[in-house]
Amino acid sequence: KGHIITNFHVVKDSSNIKFLYDDEETEAKLIASDQQLDLALLKTKIKNKNYIKFSNKSPQKTQNILVAGFPFGKAISDDLKITGGIINSLKGIGNNTSMLQIDATILPGSSGGPIVDKKNGSLVAVSTMSLNKDATKHAFGTESENTNFGIKSSQVKDFLEANKLKVSIKKNKFKLSELEKSTVFLICK
């Protein structure tokens, strides 16, 4: 219905939010946000028939996942990049149970992108952050390796429902084309 989920930190200082859809820049409006969860809800006039559905199962350690995003924006290319890995932990930094930890790469430009189950394509989490290698080197004497975090889909579902949006449960097989058509490149100015 024209809704886009992303991270609050992606759009918080933006007065003009657009996204690429069919090679055209289209306007989006911020309609809700949760700074603590780092989630933002955008609305646009375009109603894409492809969208990522929710699973009716909770995430599990060692679950195979895919992360979709646009690391480093158009500096590399405007093509959606997909990395893979597993869920390492069902908690984030400081035992934050609204997050999970993954080993799939999340780089700047991937924030707000979907983390989906590799088998069925349902939403597992929304990419949010990575541990900074310099900070871990300073704090622990060693650089972190692919220590990345996402906001659990259950939190995203609660956020959407609190904003009066209905959530769909995934029932069909995973198609890469659905992931590609459901993930958009945001331009925030």
Give φ, ψ of 9 to 5 degrees.
-65, -20
Does the annotation count 38 as an active-site position? yes
Whose CA is closest to 99, among 127, 68, 63, 135?
Answer: 127
First to last CA, the chain: 24
Q: Which amino acid is at 122?
A: S
> Measured between alpha carbons, how far is residue 113 from residues 4, 82, 106, 129, 138 in Å?
10, 10, 9, 11, 29
CA distances 96 to 102, 152, 155, 186, Å, are 14, 11, 12, 27
Active site residue 9: yes
Residues 6+ apart with CB under 8 A from 14: 30, 188, 189
Instruction: State the catalytic residue, choosing from 3, 9, 89, 144.
Output: 9
Does 34 participate in catalysis according to the annotation? no
- Beta-carbon contacts of residue 89 (< 8 Å; ≥ 6 apart): 61, 100, 101
Catalytic residue among 38, 110, 127, 182: 38
Q: Which of 55, 98, 111, 130 is catalytic?
A: 111
Distance between CA atoms of 87 and 150, rounded to whole angstroms? 10
- Name the residues annotated as catalytic: 9, 38, 111
